[in-house]
Amino acid sequence: MKIIKRSGTEVGFNIDKIIAAVRKANKEVAESERLTDQKIDEISKNVEQICLNMNRTLNVEEIQDLVENQIMNCKSFEVARKYITYRYKRYLVRKSNSTDKQILSLIECNNEEVKQENSNKNPVINSVQRDYMAGEVSKDITKRFLLPEDIVKAHEEGIIHFHDSDYFAQHMHNCCLVNLEDMLQNGTVISEVMIEKPKSFSTACNVATQCIAQIASSQYGGQSITLSHLAPFVNISRQKLRKIVLEEFKTAGLSLDEEKINEVAEMRVKEEIKRGVQMIQYQVITLMTTNGQAPFVTIFMYLDEVKEGRLRDDLALVITEMLKQRILGVKNEKGVYVTPAFPKLIYVLEEDNIKEGSKYWEITKLAAECTAKRMVPDYISEKKMLEYKIDRNGNGHCYPCMGCRSFLTPYIDGNGNPKYYGRFNQGVVTINLVDVACSSKKDMNKFWEIFNERLELCRRALMCRHERLLNTPSDVAPILWQYGALARLHKGETINKLLFNGYSTISLGYAGLCECTKYMTGKSHTENEGTQFALKVMQHLNDTCKKWAKETNIDFSIYGTPLESTTYKFAKCLQKRFGLIKDITDRNYITNSYHVHVTEEIDAFSKLTFESQFQRLSPGGAVSYVEVPNMQNNIEAVLAVMKHIYENIMYAELNTKSDYCCECSYEGEIQIVSDKDGKLIWQCPNCNNTNQDKMNVARRTCGYIGTQFWNQGRTQEIKERVLHL
């Protein structure tokens, strides 16, 4: 059995340390108040047994809490006081310099919690370590100076989650939709170098990737670009290449057959599209931003985003090439094609591509093939999004999410035009709905009372985020605020006007609706009684955000929190506060947002239809998924799910498997097993390899694809998923 020290280092459990600590406290009290040696041994063994029963690795603080409880259970209150006093004194010593040990453990790669914090970051790499080191300092400053004590306490106890506190000290926002059209058409500046409008498609792709890297280094969330902003450069290349081919024909003395010239030029256009798309794919994967990872970028593929005719046909060519290259994958260090995590792809299902025989049906079939092999693209239903995203004039709109699932709300600019690109999210704070429920002890009146108290806490925490951005000068990130990615502000001008009137959003996240409902009603939220309660909870979140927006002129929005590492944190905190409650707190994870529990048997079509009603009530961010087996030989089934998505739900994805063992070249599903300490690890079923550095595991965990470096909570959640198809 292992424990996690305060520095984050994982070490073996040592019962002698508990015995020694209790004996030390025991010696500090009068002889008549002391525990016997037998009692001390009993306390220690009870703690050890509780730790074993938790089925996860506990940290030192949790174990010390258990020791306190066991001493109190023995009615040895004086000994408990001495033990608590000693802990507090040590806490004061640590508080005076709270980051040194964490940073040292990061440098030596001993910090187990950090290793599992972000499945797409390798903590061995210097640039990642540098980002984590800066993050530890930022967390410390945030905790001690920048946030009110009650918000810090609520965050640490898992009552709420104040996201990305490792970046909060800086004036940085969360995620955005990049206005690549402005940057490419009107030029931009990167590292004080003027970048003019590209003269070809391949150059436009190159500039786009440089912009992506710079933007990723200036914010801490995901960014989305659309291929429709690159499509106009295809025809620029076409005209350029046609002139070159014409000159070559003249030089060679060939007949100036216009049809033949156009045919040769078109072949070269397709070659250039191939090079440009390849550049995007390889650049995004191989670029490393200042936070030590590839840019977290989403690529939007929406045919109806451009006018019908040559431009839409060119966009179709680019989308086709993007899908073909993703199907191929990228080579790992052994030269084997594997599934990359980024860029994430989103394909819009629409009238022109969802029906067999429709104009772009072949592209949709290619998308289905890509999903079956590489887990992307995800799918947005134009039909449902036009129903959900209605602006103040009553018109529906279709546009991408930012990063993994966060959506902007509809916005009309001063000229009466809809605007999405160039907008962003200010940040996220998540409420733990399971904690609200458990705190109420099943008293429905108490539930709503506690719910409102926690929402007020979230409001104040979100206002801290907003106020941190208020009066930020555009100079802190010129590419964002001055050179077109988000705005064209003047030097020295603040970003204040972009924080109000709905231009940007700020997100109230929520987690564990499933467990919250089960605790309060005794029913799954897929059963009628549970569904009605769950919908009331969601409506209350929406009503509260509308109230806040009216009071502040800030666009608060409900966001279905992804919970990559936070699912484990929330689960640990719930177990500490409420113990193990069957089907509520007895796992090392809680359910993302509104999702059906991963263990609940439900078919793919029913799941998507059921969850669609919650997507409507989660306007600031939502994504649903279905877990499926290997679908490469059943593309018809993938297409059937895609058609169902189009008719029933705004945003969804299919979770397939895409693994590779570098030791034995096995291509199939790598399994999750328990090691001798009960820790969940990944193991190749062919050669039993358990070295995570010698395998490629790709799983979708919270809207985007991650690799095998997940924490124990998320790993358990992946292990327990049932198939929906």
| Residues annotated as part of the active site | 174-175, 402, 404, 406, 425, 559, 564, 703
What's the chain's Rg over C-alpha atoms? 27
Cα 310 from chain centroid?
36
Joined tokens for residue 517: 């409902």
Q: Which residue has the tokens 């081919």?
A: 245
Render the burial of 704-716: b for 16+ CB within 10 Å, e for the rest. Answer: bbbbbbbbbbbbb
Residue 397 corresponds to which amino acid? Answer: H
Joined tokens for residue 356: 């067999």
Cα atoms found within 13 Å of the Cα of residue 660, Cβ hemisphere only: 17
Contacts 24+ apart (CB under 8 A), 535-539: 535/613, 535/614, 535/617, 537/433, 537/451, 537/513, 538/513, 538/594, 538/614, 538/617, 538/618, 539/617
Contacts of 382 (CB under 8 A, 6+ apart): 302, 304, 348, 349, 350, 351, 398, 646
Where do the H-state alpha helices sit in 54-179?
60-73, 77-95, 100-107, 112-115, 126-141, 149-156
**What is the rounded CA–CA span in Å between residue 227 and residue 307?**
14
Joined tokens for residue 553: 């002129």
Answer whether 593's CB lies under 8 Å from 561's CB. Answer: yes
Q: Which residue has the tokens 């977290």?
A: 296
**What is the rounded CA–CA span in Å between residue 672 and residue 670?**
7
Cα atoms found within 13 Å of the Cα of residue 305, Cβ hemisphere only: 26
Cα 550 from chain centroid?
29
- What's the helix, strand, coil split of the chain in %, to 5? 50, 15, 35
**What is the rounded CA–CA span in Å between residue 718 and residue 703?**
13
CA 450, 453, 455, 458 torsion-angle sign: negative
Q: Which residue has the tokens 């602006």?
A: 391
Answer whether 660's CB lies under 8 Å from 371's CB. Answer: no
Contacts of 394 (CB under 8 A, 6+ apart): none
Contacts of 247 (CB under 8 A, 6+ apart): none
Give, to the nearest 10 degrees, the angle between helix 433-440 and helix 566-578.
Answer: 10
What SS3 state is found at 681? strand
Answer whether 197's CB lies under 8 Å from 187's CB. Answer: yes
Distance spanning both ends of the chain, measured CA to CA: 37
C-beta atoms surrounding 406 within 10 Å = 30
